[in-house]
Amino acid sequence: MTMGGGKTKIFRAIDFFCGAGGMTFGLTLAGIKVVAGIDIDEECKDTYETNNLESKFIHSDIKELTIKQLKKLDIERNDGSMIFAGCSPCQYWTQIHTEKERSLETKHLLEDFQKFVSFFMPGFIVVENVRGILINKDESKLTEFLHFLQKNNYGVHYDIIDAMHYGVPQKRKRFLLVASRVDKEIKLPKADKGNGLTVKDFIGVDNGFASIGAGHVDKSDFLHMTAGLSEKNIKRLKLTPHDGGTRLAWKDDLELQIHAYKDKDSTYKDTYGRMFWDKPAPTITTKFHSISNGRFAHPDEDRGISLREGATLQTFPKTYVFKGSGIGSMARQIGNAVPPELARRIGVTIRSQVTDKVESRKVKGDYVHV
């Protein structure tokens, strides 16, 4: 990036709530140096460090993280080329979560993130979260955060976006915010609403995924492994039509019908359903490995999708290594992640918009100091 003195400035970033490293990896692909990732979940450490060798993992609760700790990373205040990404866990504000008491600790993480933004005043800020943070913007502290940004002369652009329009083969609606005090006209990445990405473009035998069964164990780094299923659930899947079938196929079977869903055909209708080959996948959640938690059954095979299939639908490369204490731990890391391709497009947009501004002003004999 051109500076007033003719030097080149490299964009750097701190990935707060980094998890398995989806945002870090995507920004790195965009040519941005991610200095560190911070997360409270120590199980993410091995995954993050294995795949993001140039970034430091800091195991810390953001409520306990100090300014002094971040200063040790050689971060300057008012650095126009610094990006703070704050994509916090979203359990409290997600619309599908009902156990609010257990997720209270995630309620005001945006406020905790603001403390660090306020001190360091980075050139750019990225926030990705569930839609509920905007729907409940006063209670989630989003209103307060937006006022803070505007008061401090940040240009702000935010909206509800669907990741399926940003190179991700799944319906994943999220709140996305990009702010900058360097470029007051900063914009979100441009949506590509005609890409037509589907499940069959990413998984299946033709994409390198062997046909396997429920409970398949894969001890290699490829992790094409699946959760086990009870005999009754296997019977249910055998009766579920391929390519998008639902539990309605066996609703009249007294043995197989689920009591809670009796006479409630429209209640959680995707549960136990199969994915469609020719449509985007549903949102890959932290429990995507379980067919009882959504439309997570394989389009054809009598099983849930594997860890690697879920990661691929999240746009992690097949070489990305996940480590954890078990299938549930790794599924949680994958489902919580910002899809790397979405993150890459955010990074590319920030770099290209600001570079274009610099080049435009150079033509006029002016320079932008960032």
Query: Which candidate, 334, 298, 295, 370, places its Cα nearest to that of 168?
Result: 334
Q: Which residues make beta-bridge pairs with 127?
A: 177
Q: How far apart are CA 303 and CA 229, in angstroms?
A: 8
- The DSSP output letter for 166 is T
Contact at 8 Å (CB) between 131 and 174? yes
Question: What is the sign of the dihedral through the CA atoms of 164, 46, 331 and 300?
Answer: positive
Q: How far apart are CA 185 and CA 87, in angstroms?
A: 22
* φ, ψ dihedrals at 330, nearest 5°: -70, -35
Q: Name, in order, each residue with C-beta under 8 angstroms of 256's C-beta and a sequence gap of 6 or more.
A: 232, 235, 236, 239, 250
26 residue type, one letter? G
Kindly state the greatest CA–CA separation across the chain: 79
Q: How many CB atoms lie within 10 A of CB 202?
A: 19
Is 90 part of the annotated catalytic residue set?
yes
Where in the sequence numbering do the catalytic residues fall? 90
